[in-house]
Structures are given as structure tokens and as C-alpha cells.
Amino acid sequence: MAELSLSISDLHAFYGDSHVLHGVTLDVPAGEVVTIVGRNGAGKTTTLRSIMGMIEKRTGSITISGQNVIASPPEKIARLGVAYVPEERGIYATLDVTENLMLPRKVNDSGMTLEKIYELFPNLHARRNSQGTRLSGGEQQMLAIGRVLRTGASLFLLDEPTEGLAPVIVQQIGKAIELMKAQGHTILLVEQNFRFAAKITDRHYVMERGRVIDMIPRADVEKRAGQIQQYLGI
Amino acid sequence: MSTQVLFGQLLVGLINGSFYALLALGFAIIFGLLGIINIAQGTFYMIGAFGGWMLLNYFGLGYWWGLLLAPLIAGIVGMALEKTLISRMYKLDHIYGLLLTYGLMMFIMGTFIYFFQTAPRPYPVPPELQGGYNLGFMFLPKYRAWVVLVSLTFCLGTWFVIEKTSVGRNLRAATENPMLTRAFGINVPALLTFGFGIGVALAGLGGVLAGPIYSVSPIMGGDLVIVVFAIVVVGGMQSILGAVITGLSLGVLEGLTKVFYAQGANMVIFVIMFIVLMVKPAGLFGQEK
Ligand SMILES: Nc1ncnc2c1ncn2[C@@H]1O[C@H](COP(=O)(O)OP(=O)(O)OP(=O)(O)O)[C@@H](O)[C@H]1O
Ligand SMILES: [Mg+2]
């Protein structure tokens, strides 16, 4: 399957009457890793949820490999080959680990098999019959990532996959993301852990108050380190 | 008292319990998946019974066809209503779904009364299931044994589908987190339509099964739904297993009450509901929030 590209322009999104995104514009070329950084409440999660079609009130344009999906329902967008790892992980309590892994609908046969996913995350294999929400935080994040590797998706939206995790687990999650990248997949990553993100990212977008305020290509990261710290309020 | 009476009432209780279980199971599926309190569940029971009766009297199709087609008809009517009306309620408070299905119940019941009046119409036991077995301590009519058997089979079958198959997995996921489940490529709106169809088809099945025992009338199911509602509250609003177990056991309890304290039989289920609500408000099998 050809890798997907993503292009967003003038995206507005609302929760009820509250206007949260004010014209977000960004590009994720096929096969690249793009990271969105920004402070709490900047609108990063809302941007990912809008791409996925999960925010009902949204305007502007979101095109996935040329196809405008601004009015498409989530299941249609997923079936184009878009996979989502939510910030809250979204593990199902009423499904066991294997069922959680098997839930997302396959879009083609290029994804990993269940066995391969269990090889990548042996912890999950050991707990394959446990109720999904009985897992530790780290295991739940492995499950959230493992879950999208099976479908054959080629555009991945990852929302803070390392948030609140111990360093060893961050390493394991990092391995899985590097694997996605090595396979040439397109990744849009939201990440507060700048050092983690910088290693794999081709370009950074900085968001503030529902807008993109800057774009920093990989080559400029070192040069502009001070400014980045200022953006993130570190 | 004689054992004949005791076992006789036990059997009546088991039969009623079978209907309670079928209707309550459908009710629980619908509430869990759609968040709709389907007060019209008894109406679909009536539609199932009338479906069987009409197939016989207008098309000459006997009991076995009725058993197959009437739940299907109830399911299709249900899916059409879900698509056109019920799906508009999802974003609103539960009370709106209850009011809408209450209105549907009055409308459908009224229409049937207009055309068929309220007098019960007989629907015969099929020849294959006439007669019965003498068990020594009691006489067991074949048809009643059949009703219990079919109802248990469908309850267990539904439980199996929901707990052990991929369709059931998708249904559970859609119940727990519909928006995220859609983001995983699963057509949740279609699944909701399907779930509503299954839920009311179970009531329709109850209706055809009930025809030969209680006869067919537009007002059948009107009282039943109140009892079913109590049963679902006792079992836990969304609990599949709770609906089945509570339905059967409260049916039996009601039968036994008739033997030991006949005046209490009509209210024993509500007394139990009252006690359960006091002690465990989420129901015996429900998850405390
Ligand atoms: N369900 C909701 N209803 C109303 N407002 C919301 C909702 N979710 C988020 N918001 C608001 O929208 C804005 C953007 O939130 P969003 O979650 O997209 O930020 P974020 O950049 O992902 O933040 P964080 O780094 O904390 O995850 C915030 O002001 C937030 O309060
Ligand atoms: Mg966020």
C-alpha cells in the first residue's frame, strides 16, 4: 500500500460552543515523522481527533493523500489506512488483551500478525487473557500501540505515547515507533518529551492556543534549541 | 398442598420466566448499546405473536414458519424504527428515548386495537408439540417444555455470540466507547441498528412462543413490559447474564409465591426490585459506577 500523506489547512474545531482550533495548517508528507509540540491545552489532541473525524463540529480542509475527509465519519477515515493511538490509551475493559488487539478492522494484509505483535511486546503475550484495563499503565500503552500495528494502516496518529511511563517502557515504545518509521510509514506524533521526539522527527510544529505558530525542520533543531524551550515553557 | 400444585406452579413460573428472560435480555442489549430504555419491548412481543397469527391466517403458514419469520419481522420493523426515529435520540438524555418508545408503544398498540380489537385470538399448538409427558409427580405438556427449551437456547446463544465471537467483541466495544470504536474502522451506527434489531427480535420470538399459551391480542405485552423493566433493574440495566438469570429466577419465584401466598404473587417481583434498589442500586449483576 502506498504511504499516505496528510495535509491540513485552516482547520477549526469546536466542543459545543467552545471554539478550540482557530485555523490549524500543517503538512505531513508521506513517509515522514512529524511532531506537534505545545503546552497543555494548546489543541494538539483536538487536532488529532479532528483528523480522525471524532470531533463533530469541524471546518476547513483535511486531505489524506488528496482525498478531503473533513466531512467523513471516523470509520471511513480509519478504512483509508489511518490508525489512532489516543492520549488516554482507550483500552477496553470489556475486552481481554487479545480482543483489544483484534478489534481494529484490517485495511489490508500488510500489517503485523498477532504473533509478531506478541513477539514485539512479550509482556502482552503473558497477559493475553487478562481484562484490558487490568494491565499496568505501561502495558496498556504497549497494547494501544500494538493494536494499530495489525491493521496495515500507513498513517499513524500517536498522542503522547510516552506520557507517564518508566524509561525502560519508553524505550520499548520507542522501538515500536522506530519500526513504523523504518517501514516507511507516515507518523504524526504529539509529544511533550522533546528529547524522545527529536531523535525520529523530520519536522516539528509548535502549537499555541489552537494555532500553529512555528515550524522547525530537523536541521534547525539544534540551532533553535533556546527558542523551542521558550515555546514549551521549560 | 399436593406436589401436583407445587410443580404445576413451578412450571408456570419457569414458562413466565422464559418470556421474562427473552424480553429482558433484548432490553439489556438495547439499553447497553444504544442507551435507549425501550418501553416498547412488550410491543415487539405482541408484534411477534401477531406476526405468527397473521402468517397462519392470511398466508396459511403454520407455526414453524411463524417461529422463523415472526421474530425476523419484529426485527425488521425494529431496525426501520431505529434508522428513522430512535437514532435521533442518542445525543439526548435517556428520558427522551423512553418517551419516544412509550409513544411508539401507544401508537402501535392503538393501531392494532383499531384493526383487531382486544379480544384474544387463539393460535394453535402445532400438532408435533401437542400432548405431553406424565412424569409421575406431574403432567408436563410438550409445548411448555418446548418454550423453556427454545428460550434457554436463544438466551445462551445470544450470550455466546456476545462474549465469544468477533461480532460480539465489536458490540461490546461499541457499547463501551462508541466514538473510539468508530475510529478503529467499525461501522458503529450500523451495529446499533443491528443491535436494536436483535434486541426486539428476541421479544418477537417470545411473542410467537407465547401465542399458543396465552392467545394473541393487541394488549398482550402491555403489562409484561412493566415486569420486564423491574427484572432488568434487579439484574443490572446492561447486564446480559443478569437479565437472563434474573428473568428466569424471578419467574420461578413468582410461581412459588402463588403456591404459598397467592395474594403476593403479583407484587413479589416489585418487592424484590425495591429491596435490590435499596441495597445494590446498580442491580445484582450491574457494575457500580
Ligand atoms: N471534551 C472537551 N470539551 C470542552 N473543551 C475541551 C474538551 N477537550 C478539550 N477541551 C479544551 O480544548 C482545548 C484544547 O485541548 P486539547 O486536549 O486539544 O489540548 P492538548 O494540546 O492536547 O493538551 P495536553 O497537552 O494537556 O494534552 C483546551 O482548552 C481544553 O480545555
Ligand atoms: Mg492532549
CB atoms within 10 A of CB A92: 23
Nearest to B45 by CA among B116, B108, B98: B108
Which of the listed residues A15, A54, A192 should we mutate to test ligand 1's pocket, taking the one with most ligand atoms within 8 A of CB?
A: A15
Q: Which of residues 147-176 of A touch B (CB under 8 A)?
A: 147, 151
Mutant choice from A58, A98, A103, A143 vs B, greatest count of B C-beta within 10 A: A103
Within a domain: A207: yes
Burial of A71 (0-12, 13-18, 19+ CB in 10 A): exposed
For range A203-212, the mean pLDDT: 94
Whether residue A1 has pLDDT greater than 90: no
HEC string for A149-162: HCCCCCEEEEECCC
Residue-averaged pLDDT of chain A: 92
Domain that holds residue A10: 6-232
The pLDDT of residue B1: 63
Q: Report the distance separating Cα A29 and Cα A7, nearest Å.
A: 8
Residue at A1 is within a domain? no
- What chain A residue is nearest to B184 in terms of C-alpha separation? A104
pLDDT in tens, B2-14: 778 888 888 999 9
Cell numbers that stand for A202 in this block: 523530520
CB contact under 8 A, A78 and B176: no
pLDDT at B289: 58
The CATH number covering residue A140 comes to: 3.40.50.300
Q: Is residue A162 part of a domain?
A: yes
Q: Decide if A143 contacts A104 (C-beta within 8 A).
A: no
Instruction: Report CB contact under 8 Å: A78, B181.
Output: no
| Domain count along chain A | 1
| A84 within a domain of the structure (yes/no) | yes
Burial (Cβ within 10 Å: 0-12, 13-18, ≥19) of residue B85? middle
Q: So what's the pLDDT on residue B161?
A: 94
ipTM of this complex prediction, to 2 decimal places: 0.94
| Average pLDDT score over chain B | 93
Alpha-carbon Rg for chain A in angstroms: 17
Q: Which residues hold their Cβ within 5 A of ligand 2, which is an ion?
A: A 45, 87
- Please give the biggest Cα pair distance in chain A: 49
pLDDT at A224: 86
Q: What is the pLDDT of residue A226?
A: 84
Ligand 1, residues at Cβ distance < 6 Å: A 15, 18, 20, 38, 40-46, 87
Query: What are the pLDDT digits (tens) for A167-201?
Result: 988 988 888 899 899 999 999 999 988 888 888 89
φ, ψ (nearest 5 deg) of residue B69: -85, -35
- Find the closest chain B residue to A97 by CA distance: B169
pLDDT for B264 = 86
| Residue A205 forms part of a structural domain | yes
Give the predicted TM-score (pTM) of the model: 0.90
Quote the minimal CA–CA distance from B60 to chain A in Å: 45
Chain A contact for B165, CB < 8 A? no
- At B135, is the pLDDT very low, low, confident or very high (cuts 50, 70, 90)? confident
| pLDDT tens digit sequence for B138-174 | 889 999 999 999 999 999 999 999 999 999 999 999 9
Query: Distance of CA B213 to CAs B41, B122, B145, Å?
Result: 19, 9, 12
Q: Are residues B184 and A103, on separate chains, in Cβ contact within 8 Å?
A: yes
- A169 within some domain: yes
- Shortest Cα–Cα distance, A24 to chain B (Å): 21
Other residues' Cβ atoms within 10 Å of the Cβ of residue B265: 18
* Residues 6 or more apart whose Cβ sits within 8 Å of residue B241: B159, B285
Q: Judging by DSSP bridges, how do beta strands A18-28 and A6-15 pair with one another?
A: antiparallel
Q: Please compute the mean of the pLDDT values over residues B21-32 and round it to a whole number.
A: 94
CA-based nearest residue in chain A for residue B164: A99
Q: Which residues of B136-160 are buried (b: 16+ CB within 10 A; e: fewer)?
A: eebebbebbbbbbebbbebbeebbe
Domain edges within chain B: 20-220
Q: Which of residues 187-216 of B touch A (CB under 8 A)?
A: 187-189
Burial class from Cβ neighbours inside 10 Å (0-12, 13-18, 19+) for residue A17 reads exposed
Give, rounded to a whole angstrom, the gap between the first and last alpha carbons of chain A: 40
- Retrieve residue A40's grid coordinates: 497543555
Please report residues of A whose CB lies closer than 8 A to that of B189: 73
In a domain, A97, yes or no: yes
